[in-house]
Amino acid sequence: MASEIFLITDPNAETETTATHLKATLERVGAAVVLVSAGEADDYAYVDKLKALVPIAHAHDCAVLVDGRPSLVKSTRADGVHMSGGIKALREAIDTLKPDHIVGSGDIGSRHEAMLRGELDIDYLLFGDRAEPGTEERADERDMAQWWAETFEVPSVYRATTGEAEVFDTLGSEFIAYDEADWDKIDVTAGATA
C-alpha cells in the first residue's frame, strides 16, 4: 500500500519562503494534507500565514490543517485542525468542528492513550512527533504507528525523519508526514525520503 503524503511546515520559516516551498513541493510530488505549524506565533501572524498558504494548498487539492487553534479553522477557510495535548481540548475541537472539518491528534505517548483518542470522532492519529531520531523512544513510536495501522480503522500518520527510508515499505501507515526541511528529499517513487 502506498502512503499518502502529509506535509508539516516549519513554524520558524518566513511565510513567503514557506509559500514558495509549498507550491514547488505540491507541483512536484502532490500531497493530501499540509499542517501549518503555529510555533510561537500569535493569532494575527498565524492567520496571515494561513491566509497565504490555504489558497496554494487548495489549488493543488491539498487539505490544510490549523495547528491547535480550532477557533481559526472557519475564518481562514482551512479544512480542519491538528490537536496535541489533552483529551479535553480534543473533545472540544471535535464538538466545534465535526462533521464538516477534519480533526486529528498527535503527541501520543502510549497505546492506551492512542486507543482513548481513537475512540473519539477523529480523522487520524499522528505518531513520531515526540522522540528524537535514532532513539529507542523513536523506534517505539514507529512500532505504535504500525500497530495502529494494522489494528484500527482510524488512519495512522507517521512523522518521518531523514534516514528512515527503510521502514516505509513495511510500516503500513496510511500517511507519511514530512517536516518542511525534508520536502525536497521526498521520493514519490519510493514512498520515502532519499
Q: Is the dihedral of CA 43, 49, 50, 51 positive or negative?
A: positive
- What residue spans define the domains of the chain? 4-193
CATH architecture for residues 4-193 = Alpha-Beta Barrel (3.20)
Alpha-carbon span 59 to 43, nearest angstrom:
24
Reduced to 3 states (helix: H, G, I; strand: E, B; else coil), residue 126 is strand
Q: Residue 33 in contact with residue 62, Cβ under 8 Å? A: yes
Whole-structure pTM value: 0.92
pLDDT for position 191? 47
The 10s digit of each residue's pLDDT in 63-114 is: 999 999 999 999 999 999 999 988 999 999 999 999 999 999 999 989 999 9
Q: Tell me the CA distances in angstroms from 3 to 72, 120, 168, 177, one per residue in order.
A: 28, 23, 8, 10
